[in-house]
Amino acid sequence: MRCHVGAVTLIGSPLFTTVGHFLETWERESAQTRRVLVQLTDESLHCRVAPGYRTAAEIAWHMTTAPREITGKTGLSFEAPTNADAQPETAAAMDEWVHTDGPAAP
């Protein structure tokens, strides 16, 4: 099944039927997301695709905080940043959140 979303084509079932299918998809999508986010620079964090849209930093932070928010609605919980946490201000700090479990202890 192909689902067209704007310029993106999603291939496969839009519904997970096994935990294994979810984990396989999560790993693949996480790796693709990391490949994009690692390209961010301090300058690009402030870029908007159009007036009134989120900055690259806001999009990256949303992708970092959304899984905890979404799974929290199902009763699942795990340690991850939330929208209440301060958004990192540099690409290096954003990378630390995205690629690890958060900033290193002082």
The answer to whether residue 105 sits within a structural domain is no
The answer to whether residue 90 sits within a structural domain is yes
Write down the pLDDT at residue 2: 40
Element (H, E) at 9: strand 8-11
Give yes or no for a contact between 65 and 98, defined as CB atoms under 8 angstroms apart: no
The answer to whether residue 106 sits within a structural domain is no
Q: CA neighbours within 13 Å on the CB side: how many for 58? A: 8
Element (H, E) at 8: strand 8-11
The answer to whether residue 35 sits within a structural domain is yes
- How many structural domains does the chain have? 1
The answer to whether residue 69 sits within a structural domain is yes
Write down the pLDDT at residue 102: 52
Q: Output the pTM of the full model.
A: 0.68
Average pLDDT of each block of 10 consecutive residues along the chain (106 residues)?
Answer: 43 72 86 85 89 90 84 81 84 77 48
The answer to whether residue 104 sits within a structural domain is no
Write down the pLDDT at residue 63: 84
Please give the residue range of the domain that contains residue 19: 2-99
